[in-house]
Structure 1
């Protein structure tokens, strides 16, 4: 065996050992990182046993939120599941509305919110809402649609009742029956 072949064999062994060591280091890196974080107290945010708290809830006052629903030239029944809720500013609130298409064809609608008093709109933070996108209801379909919101604790103290009102408008476009044809007497807009 020549000296050149022996050098190549030693190089191959060294490269193989290097690859195995790198793989082992990469494999051991995750538990090693977790142990370092545990010892130093870094990354405590991901501990499942610590309950998340909202320190911005103003428990010294209550705000009543009333819910209103309207439809404008739309063949839908639309109503809130609750007429009103009492909440603390900063509290996360989940409510829902129910909507039903009363026609024999699919219809698309878009909800537009409004607030009373108008000033309250600046302090009303919707985190999830059916008003963020168009809603298409099939013929006879009924749907429950959630709204998740927080009232900013900066809401002026003189405001203790807010009305959240939604009006559903039909989205311009084709209304089709289940067979894909335009229903009798319906226009294409």
Structure 2
């Protein structure tokens, strides 16, 4: 009887361990996102709306913001910013236009994923409007201007004088067929 009781306890402990490992596996992604958001690591930009407490521009500092754009494998669109860089004062609201063109003979859906470098600056880079918030649908040969409006928080560490905002454009057409169905050109 003692051996059966011992085996039953062992099975319960093993089942608990398996359940705990399964739960931990599901919790890793949200924990990682929270950690990146709190520490400003991995170049992830803040996805919540930025509300400056006071319209405060630090005119004593000038920052250089560089813009990069790349296409992921399989993405054929032409994609890029109006300018390679701009200068600004922390706290200033600025905008950059990006252009995209679908050179193919079929409609496509794209998603832009942003990142900020250096990673410690990501927590201070706030997008108030961005084409990366939604998927972009372009018909064959169609072009679009896509704005990104942003503010660099004046609390940015003083040793950061140069930021890079990089976008990678992904083809998500196969994963978003409902976007194509709702965007078909209307016949007259």
TM category, shorter: 0.5 to 0.7
Structure-2 separation of matches of 1:117 and 1:55: 25
Q: How does 1:174-189 map to 2 (within 5 A)?
A: 174=177
Match of 2:13 in 1: none
1:144 aligns with 2:110: no
How far has the Cα of 1:55 moved from its partner? 3.6
For normalisation by structure 1, the TM-score amounts to 0.63
How far does the alpha carbon of each residue in 1:50-107 deviate from its partner, in whole angstroms, 9 at most, with x for none? xxxx641000000000000011121100010011000000001011000000100000
Q: Find the aligned partners of 2:81 and 2:105 in 1 and give their Cα distance.
A: 23
Q: Which has the higher contact order (CA 8 A, sep 6+)?
A: 2
Alignment of 1:12-161 (within 5 A): 55-72=55-72, 73-161=74-162
Decide whether the 8 Å contact of 2:108 with 2:139 is kept in 1: yes
Name the CA distance, whole Å, in 2 between partners of 1:56 and 1:110: 33
Residues 172 and 108 of structure 1, relative CA distance in 2, 3 Å threshold: closer
Q: List runs of 5+ in structure 1 lacking aligned partners.
A: 1-53, 180-189
2: CA distance, partners of 1:119 / 1:55? 23
* CA deviation after TM superposition for structure 1 residue 172, in Å: 4.3
SS of equivalent to 1:121: helix
Instruction: Name the SS for the 2:107 alignment partner.
Output: strand
- The alignment of Structure 1 onto Structure 2 pairs a total of residues equal to 125
- TM-score with structure 2 length normalisation? 0.63
Cα RMSD after superposing both structures:
1.8
User: 5+ unaligned residues in a row in structure 2: which ranges?
Assistant: 1-53
Off by >3 Å, runs of 4+ in structure 1: none
Counterpart CA distance in 2 for 1:136 and 1:117 is: 31
